[in-house]
Amino acid sequence: MSFTDYRSALVTGANTGMGAAITQMLTKHGLTVYGLARDAGRLKEVADRTGMVPLAVDLTDTAALTAAVSGLEIDVLVNNAGVSATGNILDASEATVDAMIDVNLRAVLHLCRLLLPGMVERDLGHVVNISSIAGLYNFYGHTAYHATKAAVHQISRQLRNDTIGKRIRVTEICPGRVETEIFGRNLGGTPEAMQEAWETYYQGYESITADDIAATIEFAIEAPRHVNLGLIEVLPTFQVPGGLEFIRRTD
């Protein structure tokens, strides 16, 4: 299919990072894009730059989410929003566990529940779920984050069963380390935390960027209509998932 087969898209977490890059890519192809995020101010900045239609909604509020997408005909759904936390299940808080389940998993299920029936009725659609290598490989990290991303992996596979016989494609994008704000937010979200995260996780590394993820989604959507790219792992060349090693290079 080409982008001319689609008219509309909805992107969660569209106010920053990968979501903003994906939104820009989709609007560039002429789609009407609805950007969904909680931060109305940052969402407006992306909307002003791209022409996206902002929907300032808290993904954890299912009633508000339902009202926001009610009546929308969405051809391309990009479940991009996600949250994480430092540590593992031994020192996890109730709040961080609930946040990851609500944003990373529950919102994905509800948006599919709300928007996929319209795709089935129109016999046309593409669901793109952003998971993580944390959902496929075991390494030290927050157990709840791994669990929610593993669930997104299974949801992506199951949606193909749910829509069998219809011209609906489902693509799971499974990234390694991407240059986003996620590590800085985990460290507190202050300017100092953002700088510490940059120096610790990105400086000297050849990480993939938000634009790389957007380009990968662009590639999946542009595949011929009889081709479904189900799972795409996107990692930096110097990062391997087994053991989660990432080599710093200075050359």
List, by residue number, the catalytic residues. 145
Sorted by sequence, the CB contacts under 8 Å of residue 213 that are 6+ apart come out as 18, 21, 22, 130, 173, 175, 178, 234
Structure tokens at 151: 């669930």
Structure tokens at 171: 């693509």
Q: Which of 38, 34, 64, 39 is nearest to 51 (CA)?
A: 34
| Helix (H) or strand (E) segment spanning residue 159 | helix 143-162
| Helix (H) or strand (E) segment spanning residue 63 | helix 62-69
Interatomic CA distance for residues 33 and 181, integer angstroms: 23
